[in-house]
Amino acid sequence: MKKLTEKRLYHAALAYVAKFSASSGMVRDVLNRKVFRARRAQAEIPPETPAWIDKIVASFVQAGYVDDGAYAAVLVGRLSGQGKSAYFIRQKLMRAHLSAEEAEDALGRDAATDVQRARMFAAKKKLKRTPQDLAKLARAGFSYETAREALGGADETEGEA
């Protein structure tokens, strides 16, 4: 393996953001994985490597190559349009290393409510008002109340007793 240098890390990060939309935390992960692979290959890891990673991520943010707010907004819009729950979207944003505040801000700017998302999900999956379909909505991250409202009120088992 070639020696790990700041230039190699910079080019790895540049290749990643050229290919994928990413948050600053995701770029940091890519660089840390590169360092991990180099360490596993027993390559020499300079002691200033963490500083290089910080510098590269900061320069990408400053240059506009990565924008956490824009990334969050796009991800929320895409997932919301697919009928994903706010819980699911929040978890996806956290896995992208966005803070809870950034996640809540992006979710707050989304026009769709969780009931609307649940209705989209139910329509896409052709769900009816059955306990099994309520369970599908629950597994998708929707609350019981949201699932009931999305499926048009009470489920079929209600009133039987």
User: Distance between CA 33 and CA 54 in Å, rounded?
Assistant: 14
Provide the pLDDT for residue 152: 86
Residue 50: both structure tokens together: 């963490």
Residue 49: both structure tokens together: 């490597």
**Which residue is associated with the tokens 């699932």?**
147
Which residues have a Cβ under 8 Å from the Cβ of 72 and sit 6 or more positions away? 23, 93, 96, 98, 102, 103, 105, 106
Mean pLDDT of successive 10-residue stretches along the chain, which has 161 residues = 90 97 96 96 94 98 96 95 94 94 93 93 93 94 94 57 38
Predicted model pTM = 0.83
Provide the pLDDT for residue 20: 95
Provide the pLDDT for residue 53: 98
Q: Looking at this protein, which amino acid is placed at residue 118? A: A
Provide the pLDDT for residue 2: 79
Domain ranges of the chain: 6-63, 68-109, 114-150
Provide the pLDDT for residue 38: 94
Residue 102: both structure tokens together: 């950034």
| 16, 22, 25, 31: CA torsion to nearest 10 | 0
Identify the burial level of 150 via C-beta atoms within 10 angstroms of its C-beta, where 0-12 means exposed, 13-18 middle and 19 or more buried: buried
Provide the pLDDT for residue 71: 96
User: Distance between CA 31 and CA 62 in Å, rounded?
Assistant: 18
Provide the pLDDT for residue 34: 96
Provide the pLDDT for residue 3: 87
